[in-house]
Amino acid sequence: MTDRELIRAAFEARKMSYSPYSGFQVGAALLAENGKIYTGCNIENAAYTPTNCAERTAFFKAVSEGVRGFQKIAVVGGRKDAKRLAYCAPCGVCRQVMREFCEEKTFRILLAVSEEEYREYRLEELLPESFGPDNLTIHAPEQKEAL
């Protein structure tokens, strides 16, 4: 699966964006370790806070089907009438969801404005000093004594 193909899938997913309140359309395409692509779009709500970002839609589709290993994600976003897109970085909540299921040093995040133009980040760059599943089980020596 080339980066270009994954970005194309994110552009396709963006077409499904339900964003009548912000007018900001986002699409994501998540490549799992099994080679399958899970796509997502942002889904807004009249009550605003139930809104789900494109990235989380993609993750939750995959995880709800039993898939928990991922290689990379492509994200494209911008106002629906934009002639040219700007790079759309994942929000903090989506970064934290990535942290739950992805390897910090190897998971690739592609922010694209076209199939050819994209910026690439590793999860550890976008979410440094993060809190993840390990924090709940690994304790500092002094904490261990107290347990």
Reported as half-sphere exposure (CB side, CA atoms, 13 A), residue 94 has a value of 24
Rounded least distance, CB 145 to ligand THU, Å: 42
Is the CB of 20 or the CB of 133 nearer to ligand THU?
20
CB within 8 Å of 2: residues ≥ 6 apart: none
Alpha-carbon span 82 to 102, nearest angstrom: 32
- Candidates 7, 13, 58, 90; binder of ligand THU (CB under 6 A) is 90
Catalytic residue among 5, 12, 33, 55: 55
Is-catalytic flag, 55? Answer: yes
Q: What is the DSSP string of 68-103?
A: --EEEEEEEEEETT-SS----PPPHHHHHHHHHHS-
- Candidates 7, 30, 31, 53; binder of ligand THU (CB under 6 A) is 53
Please give the positions annotated as active site. 55
Contact residues: ligand THU, CB under 6 A: 19, 22, 24, 26, 42, 44, 51, 53-55, 75, 77, 88, 90-91, 94
